[in-house]
Structure 1
Amino acid sequence: MTKTMTRTARAQGGFTLIELLVVVAIIGVLAAIAVPQYQNYVERSEASAGYSTIRSLQTPYDAAIFSSDTITDVTDLGMQSDASSLGKASVSQADGTLTFTFNDSAVLPANSTVTLTRDADGVWTCTTANIPDQAIPNNCSDEAP
C-alpha cells in the first residue's frame, strides 16, 4: 500500500494550468474590490486632515477675537503657512472663516475646500466644496456649487 502512495505522490509534481488560472482570477477579483476601497479611504483621510488642520486654529482665532487682535494670516494664529503638504490654510477675519484649500498633490480635486465659519454668537459651522460625498468629514456639509 505504501508503494502505491509513493508513486502517486511522485506523479504529481506541481500545479496545473487551470489551478494557476483560478488563483490569478481570484487575485484579480480581490484587487478590483480593494483598489477602489483604498482610494475612498485616502480621500476620506485627506479631507479629515484638512479639517483637522483648520480645526486646530479655532481656539487661537477665538482668543484673538476676544482680545481684539487683528488677524491677517494663519501665522498670526501660530501656524506656518506651509504646515501641510496637502494644501494651504487661510483665514479671513472679515468673514470669520478658516479655510483649507487642497493643492494638486492631494488625491482630492485641486481647489477643494473645507471651511469653518464662525457666526456672531461664536458658533462654528463646517462646509466643504468639490469634495466627494463619501469623503466629507463628520460634522461638515456640502456647499451648493
Structure 2
Amino acid sequence: MQSIQMNQKQQGFTLIELMIVVAIIGILAAIAIPQYQDYIARSQMNRAYGEISALKTAAEESLMRGQEPSDLASIGYTGSSILTGSGTSGGTGTEVDFSSGDGSGTIQGQLGGDASTAISDAQIILSRTSEGTWNCAVKENGAGGWDDSFLPSGCSKS
C-alpha cells in the first residue's frame, strides 16, 4: 500500500506577518495624524480669514455712505463656530473698530470655539488705512503649536 502524503495549505497568517502589518500601520499613523492636524489648522485659519474678509465690503460701503461701522451686526457678521466674541470697539474676541473718524480702522477675529488647539486664541486683524488700503496681520496664540504654514496667503505674522 502506498502512503499518500497530502500537502496542507497554510491557513491564516504567521505571527511575524501580523507584526509586520502592525508596524507598518503604526508608522503610517505616526506620519499621517500630525499631517492631518496641520491640514485642519490651515483650513480653519483660511476659513476664518475668509469670513472676516467678507466683512470688508460691508465696511467699505458704510464708509462710502459716511457712516462708521460701529459693531459687527452693522456690517453683516452672523457668527462663526471657530471665531469667538461679538464685541465692539474695546471688546475682546471678534470685533470692529472704525472710531478714528478718518476712515481707518480694524476688523479683528479671534479664533476659538471649535478651532483647532494649534490656532485657538490666534487673532486675524484686517487693518484699513485712511486711504483705503487693507492689510492683514496674524497674531499667533503663543501656545507652542503654531506653525507659520498656518498663515493665510496675503497675511503677515505680527
Q: 2:122 aligns with which of 80, 101, 112?
A: 112
Specify the alignment match of 2:157 in structure 1: 142
Q: 1:103 aligns with which of 94, 112, 124?
A: 112
Q: 2:44 aligns with which of 43, 46, 49?
A: 46
Deviation readout 1:60-117 (Å, 9 max, x if unpaired): 100101101132111001122xx20111332111351111101253213432101111
Q: Does 1:91 align with 2:87?
A: no
Any idea what SS the aligned residue of 1:29 has?
helix
- In the alignment, the residues of structure 1 paired with residue 80 and residue 33 of structure 2 have an alpha-carbon distance, to the nearest angstrom, of 25
Specify the alignment match of 1:71 in structure 2: 69
Q: Give the deviation of 1:51 after TM superposition.
A: 0.3
Name structure 2 gaps, 5 residues minimum.
85-93, 141-145
| 8 A Cα contact 2:81 2:113, kept in partner | no
RMSD of equivalent CA atoms: 1.8
Specify the alignment match of 2:136 in structure 1: 126
Higher helix share: 1
Report the count of equivalent residues. 136
- In the alignment, the residues of structure 1 paired with residue 73 and residue 83 of structure 2 have an alpha-carbon distance, to the nearest angstrom, of 15
Moved over 2 A (4+): 108-111
Name structure 1 gaps, 5 residues minimum.
none
TM-score, normalised via structure 2 length: 0.79
Q: Which amino acid aligns with 2:109?
A: F
- In the alignment, the residues of structure 1 paired with residue 96 and residue 25 of structure 2 have an alpha-carbon distance, to the nearest angstrom, of 47
Taking only the aligned residue pairs, the percentage that are identical comes to 35
Q: Which amino acid aligns with 1:118?
A: R
Q: Which amino acid aligns with 1:85?
A: S
Any idea what SS the aligned residue of 1:100 has?
strand
